[in-house]
Amino acid sequence: MNSNKTQLLQWINEVSFAMTEMVLYLDTHPDDADAHAYFDHFKEERNKAMSLYSANYAPLTLDSMSDTDPCSQWSWASEPWPWEGGIC
């Protein structure tokens, strides 16, 4: 796997983790405006990263599949599975 792909997957994991942590925090602090801004920032970063990964490699989730290219809608299934050396 090339380093750009690996780095992008790592970034997706990092921003996804930040979002999950903020959801847990916001469950108990729903009025924290700074936390909402932090969450929104990382949500935007994750969406950009997921779109970039989908455009260059393959969709990681069903909601990141291309709506414009019907021939590649199920290309996510062509990526190697974790037991075949792919990254989960």
| Distance (Å) of CA 71 to CA 4, 29, 75, 84 | 25, 44, 8, 24
pLDDT at 56: 87
Residue 62 within any structural domain of the chain: no
Give a yes or no: residue 14 inside a domain. yes
For the chain, give the secondary structure using H, E and C.
Answer: CCHHHHHHHHHHHHHHHHHHHHHHHHHHCCCCHHHHHHHHHHHHHHHHHHHHHHHHCCCCCHHHCCCCCHHHCCHHHHCCCHHHCCCC
**63-to-1, 35, 47 alpha-carbon distances in Å:** 24, 25, 10
Structurally, how many domains does the chain consist of?
A: 1
Question: Average pLDDT, stretch 68-88?
Answer: 63
Asked if residue 6 is part of any domain, the answer here is yes
Q: What is the pLDDT of residues 47-66, one digit of tens each?
A: 999 999 988 888 888 777 66
Q: Which domain holds residue 39?
A: 1-57
The pLDDT of residue 58 is 80
Question: 17 lies in a domain?
Answer: yes
pLDDT digits (tens, 9 = 90+) for 14-53: 999 999 999 999 999 999 999 999 999 999 999 999 999 9
87 located within any domain: no
pLDDT of residue 38: 96
49 occurs within a structural domain: yes
75 within a domain of the structure (yes/no): no
**Could you give the CA distance from residue 9 to residue 57 in angstroms, rounded to a whole number?**
11
29 in a structural domain: yes
Specify the pLDDT at position 55: 86
